[in-house]
């Protein structure tokens, strides 16, 4: 069991480093990509949303090429909490901008130098910054969603299940390939030690506290999960349990299985992206 988990996390690291070439990201449906590129948008790169310990933590912003006030989507990349970059979500962000959203794709400090709680803090700081920057970037601060994939989906679910009263409210969440429960990690396994700071045996409370499944509640925002049916990196059962927990609390939630797709191919899947945008359109429309 431990070796399977270790192989999975090595695989996700490799995926994050090598898989995101621009040609690969747009190859699935080139005709729809050409159509989308006719819709104007503008971008701001490397906006600093947090300064901490002498480090600047940055975001890239994509929005429609007009001055209308728009809903926002905070986007959190994957990479096993220890690799990845905000540009991995640029294609998604551009499409969102062309659909009428302000898309903010963020970096966050990575393991092993920074642990998972510091990454949650970075994402929370990004959400706060989006609220404070609403006037500057013409964002409707009452309509802010979060979109994350893999580790980014975990971080999105952390913000949704454990909100800060001083942060802007989260209107909706899109969580793809989301790991939501770490209590099934073997107690003595060190596979997540670079991210957590120790094994589950050494840090049982931390593993509990960073498992969003344990904090599902009726006040959580509407959430859409999507997961590849053949994902060998993040088992679909972990997001399915989260979906069932939210559903039992009365939260409006959807679960979309991307048939015969693995972790990377689900990330790139045009149908998953379309379903996610439809979900956001439903919950972030001005008359919702």
CATH number at residue 203: 3.40.50.1820
**207 token code pair:** 């593993």
- 249 phi/psi in degrees, rounded to 5: -85, -5
- 174 phi/psi in degrees, rounded to 5: -115, 120
Name the residue among 226, 223, 217 with its Cα closest to residue 245: 217
What's the domain range around 25?
Answer: 2-284
Q: Is the pTM of this model over 0.95?
A: no
| pLDDT digits (tens), the chain, 288 positions | 333 443 344 344 434 433 333 333 333 444 544 555 568 999 999 999 999 999 999 999 999 999 999 999 999 999 999 999 999 999 999 999 999 999 999 999 999 999 999 999 999 999 999 999 999 999 999 999 999 999 999 999 999 999 999 999 999 999 999 999 999 999 999 999 999 999 999 999 999 999 999 999 999 999 999 999 999 999 999 999 999 999 999 999 999 999 999 999 999 999 999 999 999 999 998 776
Question: What's the maximum distance between 2 C-alpha atoms anywhere in the chain?
Answer: 54
In angstroms, rounded to a whole number, what is the distance separating the alpha carbons of residues 136 and 144?
A: 15
The answer to whether 188 and 201 have CB atoms below 8 angstroms apart is yes
Dihedral angle at the C-alpha atoms of 42, 30, 283, 237, nearest 10 degrees?
-130
Q: What is the pLDDT of residue 21?
A: 36
- Using CB atoms within 10 Å of the CB of residue 21, give its burial: 0 to 12 exposed, 13 to 18 middle, 19+ buried: exposed
- Our count of domains for the chain comes to 1
Distance of CA 47 to the CA centre of its chain: 19
The answer to whether 267 and 177 have CB atoms below 8 angstroms apart is yes
Q: What is the pLDDT of residue 36?
A: 52
**1 token code pair:** 């069991």
In angstroms, rounded to a whole number, what is the distance separating the alpha carbons of residues 50 and 68?
A: 26
- First-to-last alpha carbon distance for the chain, in angstroms, is 45
**106 token code pair:** 């963020």
Residues in the chain: 288
């Amino acid at each position: 069991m431990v070796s399977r988990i270790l192989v999975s996390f090595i695989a996700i690291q490799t995926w994050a480093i090598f898989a995101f070439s621009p040609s690969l990201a747009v190859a699935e449906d080139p005709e729809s990509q050409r159509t989308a590129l006719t819709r104007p948008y503008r971008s701001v790169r490397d906006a600093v949303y947090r300064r901490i310990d002498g480090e600047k933590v940055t975001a890239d912003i994509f929005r429609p090429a007009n001055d209308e006030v728009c809903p926002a989507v905070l986007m959190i990349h994957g990479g096993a909490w220890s690799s990845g970059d905000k540009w991995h979500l640029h294609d998604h962000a551009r499409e969102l901008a062309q659909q009428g959203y302000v898309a903010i794709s963020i970096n966050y400090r990575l393991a092993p130098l920074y642990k998972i709680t510091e990454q949650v803090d970075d994402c929370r700081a990004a959400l706060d910054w989006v609220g404070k920057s609403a006037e500057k970037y013409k964002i409707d601060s009452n309509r802010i969603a979060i979109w994350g994939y893999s580790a980014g989906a975990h971080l999105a679910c952390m913000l949704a299940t454990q909100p800060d009263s001083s942060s802007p409210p989260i209107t909706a969440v899109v969580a793809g390939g989301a790991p939501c429960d770490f209590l099934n990690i073997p107690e003595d396994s060190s596979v997540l030690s670079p991210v957590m700071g120790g094994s589950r045996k050494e840090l049982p409370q931390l593993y509990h506290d960073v498992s969003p499944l344990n904090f599902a509640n009726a006040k959580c925002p509407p959430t859409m999960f999507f997961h590849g049916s053949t994902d060998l990196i993040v088992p679909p059962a972990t997001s399915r349990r989260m979906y069932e927990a939210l559903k039992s609390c009365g939260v409006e939630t959807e679960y979309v299985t991307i048939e015969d797709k693995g972790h990377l191919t689900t990330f790139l899947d045009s149908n998953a992206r379309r379903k996610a945008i439809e979900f956001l359109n439903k919950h972030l429309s001005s008359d919702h």
